[in-house]
Structure 1
Amino acid sequence: MYKRIASIVIVVFLISSCSVWKKTIRFLGLSNVPIETNYSIREVDQLIQSGLSYRGIPYRTGGVDRKGMDCSGLLFRIYTDQHFQIPRLSKDQAQFGLPISIQEAQVGDWIFFATSQTKVINHSGIISQIKSANEVYFLHASTSKGVREDNLYTKYWLGSFVKIIRPFKN
């Protein structure tokens, strides 16, 4: 009996030092420890600069290059440019990180929207700059205007907002 309890204690101790365990505890709301990004400041800056280089590229469903791209294709291209692998589709991208509040948002976090009546995530972007509490800009591929930056704190975007995640690094 004591050996079993000791074994459980050892396993719990080993798991508790694991970063996945810490992220899981934070995700479940059992800890107030800030979420850490796995990307360095330099990597985030390179990702944003890569994304900004696509401003003006037209929207194209399924596109991932300078001929045209959709919103999840933009994220995919930005990360591919920097030799990172991420999911291609918005619905999968929305699960590829830990959810955070708007107040915790940082440059490099991913933002998701439901712009249709179904309330299903159908649009994504990456936070590109934070000027103030009500000026949070994100880079995305707009169906009407192509790749551009917009402020989350507009009636349209705030009304369509679903969540922000801090993406995993792999």
Structure 2
Amino acid sequence: MQYKGLRRRIAKTVAAGLVASLYLGWGSQLFAAPMITNMPHRADGTRITGSQPVPKEMPHDVAVKTKPATPKPATPPTQAAPKVETPKPATPKPATPPTQAAPKAEAPKPATPKPATPPTQAAPKAETPKPATPKPATPKPTVKPATAKLPTKPPGLETKKPDSVKPAAPAKTTKAKKPAKPEQVKAVYKVGDKGWKVKQAQQYLQKLGFDPGETNGQFTKATRKALRKFQKKYKLKETGNLDNATYEELKWQAEAKEYGGNVASTKILKTAAQYKGVPYVFGGTTPRGFDCSGYVQYVFAKHGIRLTRTADTQAREGKFVSKKNLKPGDLVFFTTYEPGASHVGIYAGNNLFWNATSSRGIMLSNLTDSYWGPRYYTARRILTGNDRSR
């Protein structure tokens, strides 16, 4: 009996405990199995209504196999590779309680890139996060490149329209200046006159040692005084005026002072003959040996007339004289070993001239023989006395 009463008490106590556990909610935790449905839910069975963050890493007891990303194919250099849409990650399922194995999480497969467009088509535009389907661009027609033309203007130079040019005002017509009348040469110049002949006479007076004052062509009292002194010295009519006779005497005396015009041609020829037979020496300037220009220079220097050293420069001394007007004492020039005046001699009259030859030394040669005739070049007059007609 006692055993039966004890069993009843135990049954009542267990029943009371079960009622209490059901009332406090412990029974659902101890005995009830978790509820798993197709909707997202937590481990305790509550539904997930909002988006859940993706866990940074999976539990260590779950092996996740991921497929390697497929490399994107290289696009041709003329086209840009199309942008691949990034797929939205799938929401992972929540982990089940420890009593159940968690499902394996599948890695998202990368989207297969679209094939590259052909070279004749432009690449599609890049897609926005939620892009619309891009429309294919119309292919451009293939055009053969034309032959490049040379630029007519530098690149980058902006061509501007020319400014409107105003028509130039008509130039004022200027009256043409009448040519100046040639100066009339007077027979006699007096104080107050002016001209080129007065200027030349003043220069001659100055060279001869008579002070004419100014040499600007203006006839002054100083010029008249100088002319009277000159006229008195050379036995001319002492008027103090510049007439033709006074001008010619001034010219002759000035040239004679420069080249020794007072020397008679007979004296020159007598000195030239003294050195007959002296041997020829190239560069020689003394009686021990002469070349052509050294011989002529030496003869004239004996009479106070200074000449330059070479034949080509002596051909510019004095003044020109034609072949038919040659007088004794004039210089004659020939072309021999080089063009121009390369040989010189002293004319002696009757087509003969003194010169230094390489074969026979100082000798008389004929101006018209077969050698010298064709080589004749020119003649110059040093002795101004040959021009004097008084």
TM over 0.5: yes
**What does residue range 1-170 of structure 1 map to in structure 2 within 5 Å?**
10-15=194-199, 38=256, 39-40=261-262, 43-116=264-337, 118-130=338-350, 136-167=351-382
The Cα shift of 1:16 comes to 6.5
Contact 1:111 1:125 in 2 (8 A): yes
Contact 1:96 1:168 in 2 (8 A): no
Contact 2:280 2:290 in 1 (8 A): yes
Give the SS at the match of 1:162: strand
TM-score, reference length from structure 2: 0.33
Contact 2:327 2:347 in 1 (8 A): yes
Percentage of identical aligned residues: 23
In 2, Cα distance between equivalents of 1:104 and 1:47: 18
In 2, Cα distance between equivalents of 1:64 and 1:72: 8
In 2, Cα distance between equivalents of 1:12 and 1:64: 42
Give the SS at the match of 1:75: helix
Contact 2:328 2:347 in 1 (8 A): yes
Counterpart of 1:58, as a letter, is P
Q: Deviations over 1:76-108 (max 9, x none)?
A: 110111122111111111100211111100000
Query: Would you tell me which structure has more helix in proportion to its own residues?
Result: 1
**Highest RCO, 1 vs 2 (Cα 8 Å, sep ≥ 6):** 1
TM-score, reference length from structure 1: 0.73
CA 1:19–1:58: 2 relative to 1, 3 Å? farther
Give the SS at the match of 1:77: helix
Provide the aligned C-alpha RMSD in A: 2.6
Give the SS at the match of 2:359: coil
In 2, Cα distance between equivalents of 1:159 and 1:141: 18
Contact 2:328 2:349 in 1 (8 A): yes
| Alignment gaps of 5+ in structure 1 | 21-35, 131-135
Give the SS at the match of 1:158: helix
